């Protein structure tokens, strides 16, 4: 086993469950064609590269490519021993045959011809779970996450969908999945910390997949969410460590107008902050992407850093970045310049 795979395959528990996940994990939105379509061969070789790098936790969702990612991930993973990896998917959207043309607003290149119906009810969640089992071609799904509940997604309709969880059996469906369907951990997958806090106050979750919100650029969750997760024994599956790419490429793409932050164009203050981060990293001989991928895992509630990849080279690059030694002085310099939260734990 190489140094890269040793770093990647380190394990942490999910909440208070016995389930353990690898330090680095593979997110599969790119397999669903997020922004760019992949061939079937490229999708399979990306999963194979993740396996070879030591990754043993794979996350997907019906939403990704309108069910395409689940098909592709299942096809790739069924060639490996089921007991050797952890698999998660999401519920909250049921997919039915599309009746109107896809307008491309969700960013999927060549999605499958289905459209989503939000459904967080008891029957809706169980049906979504069963549909995922069939698309994946696997009976056993280890982690089930409620997908995109919260005001960022639903706005004024959020109260309506929240009642589906509380009054129409959504939470009861999670209990059913854990007690009778072989699911080992439940939680939610969202882009906002407030939704995680609201969920923890209402239901005893094991984990939360949080996209962004705890990165080199965003650390406000240290003031509220992460201490509460630690208190309750809730693990964070940390997605979006590169904040949609700006921490992966730095300012190299500035001239091309391709600086993305949290799924949109990066605002001026973020661009300036990235420039400062990049300068300090350069002074210490560290790539910005290396610092970005390692930083979140220093917090003990972060069970895994979930990275998407479009091809095997991106997988291997992420694995190498995660394992590259970083001089302690880098973190000290970032804190001294006010670029790290005073209470942020750092890799040592």
Residues belonging to the active site: 59, 64, 90
Q: What is the bridge-based pairing of β-strands 93-97 and 114-118?
A: antiparallel
Q: Alpha-carbon distance 332 to 340, whole Å?
A: 9
Task: Calculate the CA dihedral of residues 278, 283, 287, 293 and round it to 10 degrees.
Answer: -70
Separation CA 111–CA 264 (nearest Å): 20
Rg (CA), the chain: 19
How many other CB atoms are there within 10 angstroms of residue 264's CB atom? 9
Q: Within its chain, how far is the Cα of 228 from the centroid?
A: 20
Which letter does DSSP use for residue 39 in this model? -
CA distance 5 to 8: 5
Answer whether 19's CB lies under 8 Å from 142's CB: yes
Nearest to 177 by CA among 196, 203, 209, 148: 203
Number of other residues whose CB lies within 10 A of the CB of residue 224: 13
Using alpha carbons only, what angle is made at residue 221 by residues 57 and 229, rounded to the nearest 5 degrees? 60
Burial of residue 158 (number of CB atoms within 10 Å: 0-12, 13-18, 19+): middle
């Amino acid at each position: 086993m190489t140094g890269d795979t040793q770093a990647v395959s380190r394990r942490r528990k999910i909440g208070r469950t016995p389930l353990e996940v690898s330090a680095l994990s593979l997110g599969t939105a790119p397999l669903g064609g997020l922004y760019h379509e992949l061939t079937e061969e490229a999708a399979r070789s990306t999963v194979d590269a993740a396996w070879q790098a030591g990754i043993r936790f794979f996350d997907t969702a019906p939403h990704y490519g309108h069910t395409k990612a689940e098909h592709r991930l299942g096809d790739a993973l069924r060639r490996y021993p089921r007991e050797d990896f952890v698999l998660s998917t999401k519920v909250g959207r049921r997919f039915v045959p599309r009746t109107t043309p896809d307008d491309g607003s969700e960013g999927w290149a060549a999605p499958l011809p289905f459209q989503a119906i939000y459904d967080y009810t008891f029957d809706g969640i169980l049906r979504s779970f069963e549909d995922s089992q069939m698309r994946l071609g696997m009976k056993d799904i280890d982690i089930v996450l409620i997908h995109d509940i919260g005001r960022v997604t639903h706005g004024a309709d959020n109260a309506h969908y929240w009642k589906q969880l509380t009054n129409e059996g959504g939470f009861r469906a999670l209990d059913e999945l854990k007690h009778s369907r072989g699911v080992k951990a439940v939680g939610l997958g969202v882009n906002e910390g407030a939704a995680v806090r609201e969920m923890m106050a209402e239901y005893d979750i094991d984990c939360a997949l949080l996209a962004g919100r705890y990165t080199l650029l965003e650390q406000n969750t240290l003031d509220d969410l992460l201490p509460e997760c630690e208190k309750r024994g809730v693990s964070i599956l940390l997605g979006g460590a590169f904040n949609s790419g700006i921490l992966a490429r730095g300012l190299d793409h500035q001239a091309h107008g391709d600086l993305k932050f949290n799924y949109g164009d990066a605002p001026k203050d973020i661009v300036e902050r990235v420039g400062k981060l990049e300068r300090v990293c350069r002074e210490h001989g560290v790539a910005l992407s290396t610092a970005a991928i390692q930083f979140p895992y220093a917090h003990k509630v972060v069970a895994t850093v979930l990275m998407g990849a479009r091809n095997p080279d991106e997988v291997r690059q992420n694995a190498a970045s995660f394992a590259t030694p970083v001089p302690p002085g880098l973190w000290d310099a970032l804190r001294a310049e006010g670029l790290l939260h005073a209470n942020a734990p750092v890799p040592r």
